[in-house]
Amino acid sequence: MMYRMDFEMINSSINGEMDYSDLKAKLLQNKGKPAIINVTIGTTFKGAVDNLDVILQTLEDCGYTHDQFYIHCDAALNGLIIPFINKMISFKKPIGSVTISGHKFLGCPMPCGIQITRKSYINNLSRRVEYIASVDATISGSRNGLAPIFLWYSLSAKGQIGLQKDAKRCLDNANYLKDRLQQAGISVMLNELSIIVVLERPRDHEFVRRWQLSCVRDMAHVIVMPGIIRETLDSFIIDLLQQRKKWYQDGRISPPCVANDIGAQNCTCSYHKIDFIIP
């Protein structure tokens, strides 16, 4: 929109992941035009991860050569999680750039981030500035000098092993929360490779405010970050179960149906109810 370029919005599947059949259809509709594709490595609300390999294969199937497309990977939150699970993001593949936030998973105290790209692209934008005795590769001609110090400190303090432990703990805790909610008969979904647990929206605004939940339509989500411990998750679950008894005790109001948002297999409304076995 900023560059007034034509763009195509690709449909997504119910879990938030890119619809690859729609991607293929729209690539073929625009055959002859180069494609800039934004691959989301963890969507904002559902934490869905687009499959980079499927996208690359789709481009090949549609006749696109490497010089006819550019792929940017938006890994704002998951960029420090995914690499410890698989090698999905790699510059050995024909991608152009990756962005990772510093204030999310890493926990820097100010909004900041890193863009990693190929040197050839940087060289096209860079210019030597005599005044600063350095090379400037920024769009604005300036950048925050304090943010890199926070990024360096956070990365140095944790190290690769520390980040790996954080990633594993968050993934384990997200699965723990999902399993506990599922066992309690609450509609819930957790995407693979994600630390974002999506559940039915609580009815009480005060409950939402107290636990600082983000809500969209009949959904809420919990992002299980490194600072979240099992005790906090247990307190959330206990509070939610107690409040649900009050909200739905007389039977006049039922939990929302979220089948259209997270899939019928994850919905436990009266219509889609599944009998969960609690061990």
**145: how many CB neighbours lie within 10 A of its CB?**
7
In a domain, 278, yes or no: no
Provide, rounded to the nearest whole percent, the portion of the chain with pLDDT above 70.
98
Relative to beta strand 196-200, strand 219-223 is antiparallel
Question: What is the extent of the structural domain holding 29?
Answer: 20-143
Whether residue 27 is found in the same domain as residue 99: yes
* pLDDT tens column, 167-226: 999 999 999 999 999 999 999 999 999 999 999 999 999 999 999 999 999 999 999 999
* pLDDT tens column, 214-225: 999 999 999 999
Least Cα distance to 210 among 236, 187, 242 occurs for 236
In a domain, 64, yes or no: yes
**Does residue 74 sit in helix, strand or coil?**
strand
Q: Which residue in the list 140, 194, 214, 235 is annotated as catalytic? A: 194
Distance CA(65)–CA(32), nearest Å, equals: 11
Q: Report the pLDDT averaged over residues 69-76.
A: 97
Cβ–Cβ under 8 Å, residues 73 and 82:
no
Cβ–Cβ under 8 Å, residues 39 and 20:
no
Residue 129: pLDDT band (50, 70, 90) is confident
Which pLDDT score, from 0 to 100, does residue 276 have?
A: 43
Show the DSSP H helices in 30-146 as ranges: 52-61, 119-125
Q: Does residue 138 have a pLDDT over 90? A: no
Cα maximum dimension of the chain = 75
CATH of the domain at 200: 3.90.1150.10
In a domain, 154, yes or no: no
Specify the DSSP element, H or E, that contains 114: strand 113-117
Whether residue 127 is found in the same domain as residue 225: no
Q: Any catalytic annotation for residue 21?
A: no
Provide, rounded to the nearest whole percent, the portion of the chain with pLDDT above 90.
80
Whether residue 126 is found in the same domain as residue 175: no
In a domain, 262, yes or no: yes
In a domain, 238, yes or no: yes
Whether residue 26 is found in the same domain as residue 131: yes
Instruction: Please give the model's pTM, rounded to 2 decimal places.
Output: 0.90
Distance CA(167)–CA(265), nearest Å, equals: 27
